[in-house]
Amino acid sequence: MECVIETLASNVKFGRGATREVGQDCKNLKAKKVCVMTDKKLSKMSPVQITVESIRKQNINYKVYDRVRVEPTDESFKEAIDFAKKEGFDCFVAVGGGSVIDTCKAANLYSSNPDAKLLDYVNVPIGKGLPVTHTLRPLIAVTTTSGTGSESSGTAVFDYLPMKAKTGIANRALCPTLGIVDPDHLITLPERVAAYSGIDVLCNAIESYTAIPFQKRGPRPEDPILRPTYQGSNPISDISCLYALKIAAKYLKRAVYNADDFEAREKMHLASLFAGIGFGNAGCHLCHGMSYPISGLVRDYREEGYDEAEPLIPHGLSVIVSAPAVFQFTAPSCPERHLEAAEAIGADVSRARKEDAGKVLRDTLLKILRDIEIPDGLNALGYTTEDVPALVKGAMPQHRLIKLSPRPVNEDDMAGLFEKSMKIY
Amino acid sequence: MECVIETLASNVKFGRGATREVGQDCKNLKAKKVCVMTDKKLSKMSPVQITVESIRKQNINYKVYDRVRVEPTDESFKEAIDFAKKEGFDCFVAVGGGSVIDTCKAANLYSSNPDAKLLDYVNVPIGKGLPVTHTLRPLIAVTTTSGTGSESSGTAVFDYLPMKAKTGIANRALCPTLGIVDPDHLITLPERVAAYSGIDVLCNAIESYTAIPFQKRGPRPEDPILRPTYQGSNPISDISCLYALKIAAKYLKRAVYNADDFEAREKMHLASLFAGIGFGNAGCHLCHGMSYPISGLVRDYREEGYDEAEPLIPHGLSVIVSAPAVFQFTAPSCPERHLEAAEAIGADVSRARKEDAGKVLRDTLLKILRDIEIPDGLNALGYTTEDVPALVKGAMPQHRLIKLSPRPVNEDDMAGLFEKSMKIY
């Protein structure tokens, strides 16, 4: 039986203006040549400008890489890795949302061990899931969204184009040396980005809180380096998740519709950070596993605020559409935890019965989703029931995630979950 | 104004049998020569034996240093530092309570920068409080008590004999690479050690939760490396503290009186860890500042379970005796936080008025102290009102702590607090 958890923790700096200190942080890390990684859109905006200015002030050599793809792929990862290999950086600074930070983690991981192949560290079964035994360069992650929690997790997610499937690398070694959560960057977050990154926070936290307990994930690995980063729910991630849920439920709507409601946007940043600490140690399960083919098989869906040339289903949206069906499915396996999660996001559970846990959590969640105008299920994203077999095929191999479901799931269950998610209201 | 917090976080492994993995952890850290640091009593007990056996199994070179002093001094620190300098270790493993882990932090800090003088990194005003700019060796801290939280903090405390005062080093660089919280080690904890380490948890958490807010601690330092480790209360330490309080209040009595109540002792271990994360980032204030002369000026107090040859007031006891007076004194400055802390340890605050906050917190705390037979104040520890001037003189220079008090304190206030602490029930 597994009876040990290993919590991952990056140091995190939180507060307005923390980005202005990045140059000094680099200096204190003894950096001589820094890679500043970002995306095209952000490269012209203040978070990157402030970062670069602070590095310049310390007379530290740096180069900006702004070709990160939103929702990265193996190809966009490789391009960033090649750039890092060629330049030989001794420090990385990622400025952006999950896509930027994840790409930077990959660039750091592979450029510091140039002989490794991309699939070596990618999660099983798509990759080999090898342990990381080499030392990475310091990585400072300046987050500009409040959803992924990537600044405090060891996870890097990408689309693996040869299989049209999302997968990722989940390893403690990838955890940033320092995460910077500077609420100043949230003031410019477009409404829909605030909405979709906010619901990602909710899902990260509910899934982690309802994931199988770490003791049941066993057996204990022979070497602690083989212990998965996603370990199942545990007392340390539990308190982070419940706190994230309480905060997110309270401030999400305000944060979405009032870009200048600084308090609400700051609180969502905190919620995102705590959910990141939660899922970074416990792991998500079905909603995230199912989201991978949902975003991977996108046809022509586009969202305002995400000005990519190609169709794109934002990560948080791809995750949340299955949540109502998923939590009804998983509730019978641990109804208490589903009720506790429901209570954290605002339900009155004083008279709720265990057998109602799934319904209570679903209804409470749906109220929040309606409040911030989340599209009505997979249909609204361009899918029909005819797509279910392909979606199931893309979700089942996400072992790292779906094996953390508190209720085991087979192909029929999965098909049922996708079908029930066609319309959610 | 200061508006940034930097949270310190050591990775922590939690669970039964985690100590058996220490050798593999050392191997994964690429250790070639490990210093196992402990005290005489523990050196013959299972936590050390299991640690050493696991290192031996990996064929890693190691030496055991078992001359750590319980409640260490500058002299005992220096002895450990000299040993580490002479041997040239590339990895440290501390197995013990706060005294052992703190001594090991010092041995690591100074042996990795052999030119530094002891006072260079010691807190102002006794030492110079210099920033740490060199790289330390990895340190694994296996905790055997559930009180100090030293396994997850950057603090090392010692008695500075030339001034008969407790002081310490508080620096993020000292935070262990990996803290190991293995509840198996708690089964042998003597009753009084469980009691006094348990009340230390309570004080760490209440003080950190009621410390001045980080925004008021300002100004923002010119370089982030100069930001103090103890930053004042902040949203990240707050949730750790409240969680620690809830758990400790619920399980302390059971953990003290039933050595075989595994659940209760395990929960106290978790509470200690969370309080450590809380005070390691926020900082304690008056109770801890006042505890330094209380333990430093000890005459002939001895406690069962602590089999030192010399008189000794256990740390938790030296901290808690002033708590009833302190929280009544500090409550008017932030009554809401005092009420929230009282609620976390079991008070019904639904009808409490703000002006009662100090009394409510004091009474709730006293009930817990009575339950586990904590001695009745400074009188019971051998002090009388005649000692107050000397106690005040020892407490006032503890700037790092007393400046975090939410209510400023002068010499007269301090004298009053010591006087009110002569008897607490």
| Interface mutation target, options B2, B3, B242, chain A, most CBs of A under 10 Å | B3
One DSSP character per residue, A4-33 reads: EEEE---EEEEETTGGGGHHHHHHHTT-SE
End of a domain among A181, A210, A244? A181
- pLDDT given at position B125: 85
What are the chain A neighbours of B15 within 8 Å (beta carbons)? Answer: 3-5
Mean per-residue pLDDT of chain B = 93
Cis peptide before A213 (omega within 30 of 0): no
Closest Cα in chain A, distance from residue B222 (Å):
9
pLDDT classification of A100: cutoffs 50, 70, 90? very high
Contact flag A224-B28 (C-beta cutoff 8 Å): yes
User: Does B146 score more than 80 pLDDT?
Assistant: no
Query: What is the CATH classification number for the domain harbouring B270?
Result: 1.20.1090.10
- pLDDT given at position A2: 78
Closest Cα in chain B, distance from residue A62 (Å):
20
- pLDDT given at position A220: 86
CA–CA gap between residue A146 and residue A201 (Å, rounded): 8
Examine the domain organization and report whether A161 and A196 are in the same domain: no
Residues paired with residue A15 on neighbouring β-strands, in sequence order: B4
Q: Contact B91/B34 with Cβ under 8 angstroms?
A: yes
**Facing B235 at nearest CB: one of A6, A236, A270:** A270
Residue B370 phi/psi, 5° resolution?
Answer: -65, -40
Contact flag B239-A239 (C-beta cutoff 8 Å): yes
Contact flag A21-B243 (C-beta cutoff 8 Å): no
CB contacts < 8 Å between A and B, how many? 94
Residue A404 phi/psi, 5° resolution?
Answer: -90, 0
Q: Contact A94/A100 with Cβ under 8 angstroms?
A: yes
CA–CA gap between residue B107 and residue A280 (Å, rounded): 32
Examine the domain organization and report whether B147 and B242 are in the same domain: no
- pLDDT given at position B67: 97
- pLDDT given at position B10: 67
- pLDDT given at position A8: 66
Q: Give strand ranges (E) for B135-251.
A: 139-143, 155-160, 165-170, 178-181
What are the chain B neighbours of A236 within 8 Å (beta carbons)? Answer: 12, 14, 270
Contact flag A14-B243 (C-beta cutoff 8 Å): no
End of a domain among B181, B202, B229? B181
If you measure CA to CA, which chain B residue comes closest to A29?
B133
End of a domain among B120, B154, B181? B181
Contact flag B5-A14 (C-beta cutoff 8 Å): yes
- pLDDT given at position B18: 93
Matching residue, tokens 């006072």: B119
CA–CA gap between residue B36 and residue B91 (Å, rounded): 9
User: Does B8 score more than 70 pLDDT?
Assistant: no
Q: Each residue of B389-400: pLDDT tens digit?
A: 999 999 998 888
Residues 6 or more apart from B260 whose CB is under 8 A from it? B187
Q: Contact A209/A330 with Cβ under 8 angstroms?
A: no
CB atoms within 10 A of CB B235: 18
Is residue A406 in a domain?
yes
Examine the domain organization and report whether B143 and B198 are in the same domain: no
What are the chain A neighbours of B236 within 8 Å (beta carbons)? Answer: 12, 14, 270
Q: Contact A177/A138 with Cβ under 8 angstroms?
A: yes
Q: Each residue of A248-286: pLDDT tens digit?
A: 999 999 999 998 898 999 899 889 988 988 888 899 999
Examine the domain organization and report whether A94 and A173 are in the same domain: yes
- Write the burial class of residue A214 (CB in 10 Å: 0-12 exposed, 13-18 middle, 19+ buried): buried
pLDDT classification of A400: cutoffs 50, 70, 90? confident
Specify the DSSP element, H or E, that contains B4.
Answer: strand B4-7
Contact flag A7-B15 (C-beta cutoff 8 Å): no
Q: Each residue of B213-240: pLDDT tens digit?
A: 998 887 888 888 888 888 999 988 998 9
Determine which of A153-157, A320-324, B378-382 has the lowest per-residue pLDDT on average: A153-157
Residue B138 phi/psi, 5° resolution?
Answer: -65, 145
Query: What is the CATH classification number for the domain harbouring B171?
Result: 3.40.50.1970
| SS3 call for A279 | helix
User: Does A247 score more than 90 pLDDT?
Assistant: yes
pLDDT classification of A312: cutoffs 50, 70, 90? confident
Closest Cα in chain B, distance from residue A321 (Å):
30
**Facing A6 at nearest CB: one of B9, B13, B274:** B13
CA–CA gap between residue A174 and residue B11 (Å, rounded): 13
What are the chain B neighbours of A21 within 8 Å (beta carbons)? Answer: 4, 224
Q: Each residue of A122-147: pLDDT tens digit?
A: 988 889 999 999 999 999 999 998 77
CA–CA gap between residue A75 and residue A77 (Å, rounded): 5
CA–CA gap between residue B312 and residue B192 (Å, rounded): 13
| Largest pairwise CA distance in chain A | 63
What are the chain B neighbours of A243 within 8 Å (beta carbons)? Answer: 239
CA–CA gap between residue B181 and residue B140 (Å, rounded): 11
| Interface mutation target, options B14, B20, B175, B270, chain A, most CBs of A under 10 Å | B14
Is residue B168 in a domain?
yes
CA–CA gap between residue A95 and residue B103 (Å, rounded): 39
Is residue B350 in a domain?
yes
Give the rounded percent of residues in chain A with a pLDDT score beyond 70.
99
CA–CA gap between residue B382 and residue B392 (Å, rounded): 16
Is residue A5 in a domain?
no
Which among A15, A376, A36, A147 has a CA at the least distance from the CA of B2? A15
Contact flag A4-B24 (C-beta cutoff 8 Å): no
Residues 6 or more apart from B400 whose CB is under 8 A from it? B123, B124, B168, B170, B228, B230, B283
CA–CA gap between residue A6 and residue A172 (Å, rounded): 9
When pLDDT is averaged across residues B31-42 and rounded to a whole number, the result is 96
The conformation of residue B354, written as its DSSP 8-state character, comes to G
User: Does A344 score more than 90 pLDDT?
Assistant: yes
Q: A70-101 b/e with 16+ CB inside 10 Å = b?
A: bbbbbebbbbbbebbeeeebbbbbbbbbbbbb
Contact flag A224-B25 (C-beta cutoff 8 Å): yes
Examine the domain organization and report whether A207 and A167 are in the same domain: no
Is residue B4 in a domain?
no
**Facing A25 at nearest CB: one of B9, B224, B270:** B224
- Alpha-carbon distances, residue A234 vs A95, A214, A237, A346, B165 (angstroms): 31, 6, 6, 23, 41
| Four-residue CA torsion sign, A19, A24, A29, A33 | positive
Matching residue, tokens 């079905």: A286
- pLDDT given at position B282: 92
What are the chain B neighbours of A12 within 8 Å (beta carbons)? Answer: 6-7, 9, 236
Q: How many domains does chain B have?
A: 2
CB atoms within 10 A of CB B389: 12
| SS3 call for B388 | helix
| Interface mutation target, options A1, A5, A6, A142, chain B, most CBs of B under 10 Å | A6
- pLDDT given at position A164: 77
Examine the domain organization and report whether A246 and A367 are in the same domain: yes
Closest Cα in chain B, distance from residue A308 (Å):
33
When pLDDT is averaged across residues B246-262 and rounded to a whole number, the result is 94
- Domain coverage including residue A69: 17-181
End-to-end CA distance of chain A: 41
Closest Cα in chain A, distance from residue B210 (Å):
19
| Interface mutation target, options A1, A3, A142, chain B, most CBs of B under 10 Å | A3
Examine the domain organization and report whether B55 and B118 are in the same domain: yes
- pLDDT given at position B5: 80
**Tokens standing for residue B18:** 């985690």
Determine which of A90-94, A405-409, B292-296 has the lowest per-residue pLDDT on average: B292-296
Is residue B6 in a domain?
no
Examine the domain organization and report whether B106 and B234 are in the same domain: no
ipTM above 0.95, yes or no: no
One DSSP character per residue, A49-76 reads: HHHHHHHHHTT-EEEEE--PPSS-BHHH
User: Does A307 score more than 80 pLDDT?
Assistant: no
When pLDDT is averaged across residues A353-378 and rounded to a whole number, the result is 97
Is residue B2 in a domain?
no
Determine which of A62-66, B77-81, B165-169, B312-316 has the lowest per-residue pLDDT on average: B165-169
**Facing B270 at nearest CB: one of A4, A18, A235:** A235
Contact flag A11-B16 (C-beta cutoff 8 Å): no
- pLDDT given at position B9: 65
Task: Tell me the CB-side half-sphere exposure of residue A389, using CA atoms within 13 A.
Answer: 1
Closest Cα in chain B, distance from residue A9 (Å):
6
**Facing A4 at nearest CB: one of B11, B14, B240:** B14
Is residue A2 in a domain?
no
Examine the domain organization and report whether A252 and A333 are in the same domain: yes
When pLDDT is averaged across residues B169-173 and rounded to a whole number, the result is 90
Examine the domain organization and report whether A127 and A276 are in the same domain: no
Examine the domain organization and report whether A161 and A278 are in the same domain: no
| SS3 call for B383 | coil
Examine the domain organization and report whether A338 and A209 are in the same domain: yes
